[in-house]
Structure 1
Amino acid sequence: MVQIPTEVQVRPGLEGDVVALTDIYNHYVRETALTFDTVPFTPEQRLPWLRSHPEDGPYRLLVAQGTGDAPRILGYATSSPFRPKPAYGTSVEVSVYCAPDTRGRGLGTLLYKALFEALADEDIHRAYAGVAQPNEPSARLHDTFGFRHIGTYSEVGRKFGRYWDVAWYEKKLGQES
Structure 2
Amino acid sequence: MDPGPGVLLRDATSEDAAACAAIYAHYVEHTTATFEEVAPSADEMAGRIAAAQERHAWLVAERGGAVVGYAYGGPFKAREAYRFSCEVSVYVDVTARGGGLGRALYAALLGRLESLGMRMACGGVTMPNDPSVTLHRALGFDEVGTYQRIGWKHGAWRDVTWFQKPLGDEGPPG
Instruction: Please list the CA deviations of residues 90-132 of structure 1 after superposition, one character each: whole Å capped at 9, or x if unmatched.
Output: 1000110000111111001110121122123222121100000
Same amino acid, percent of matched pairs: 38
Distance 1:164 1:35 in 2: 11
Aligned length: 169
Distance 1:121 1:150 in 2: 24
- Corresponding position of 1:119: 113
Deviation (angstroms), 1:5 = 6.8
For the Cα contact (< 8 Å) 2:147–2:159, is it kept in 1? yes
**Cα root mean square deviation, aligned:** 1.7
Distance 2:16 2:156 in 1: 33
- Corresponding position of 1:27: 26
* TM-score scaled by length of structure 2: 0.92
Alignment of 1:121-136 (within 5 A): 121-136=115-130
For the Cα contact (< 8 Å) 2:56–2:116, is it kept in 1? no
* TM-score scaled by length of structure 1: 0.90
Aligned-partner SS, 2:88: strand
Instruction: Please list the CA deviations of residues 10-34 of structure 1 after superposition, one character each: whole Å capped at 9, or x if unmatched.
Output: 0000000010000011110000010
Aligned-partner SS, 2:27: helix
- Corresponding position of 2:91: 97
1:88 and 2:85 are equivalent in the alignment: no
* 1:166 partner amino acid: V
For the Cα contact (< 8 Å) 1:62–1:77, is it kept in 2? yes
Distance 1:120 1:147 in 2: 14
- Corresponding position of 1:61: 58
Q: Which moved more, 1:143-152 or 1:118-127?
A: 118-127
1:158 and 2:152 are equivalent in the alignment: yes
Distance 2:161 2:114 in 1: 25
For the Cα contact (< 8 Å) 2:125–2:133, is it kept in 1? yes
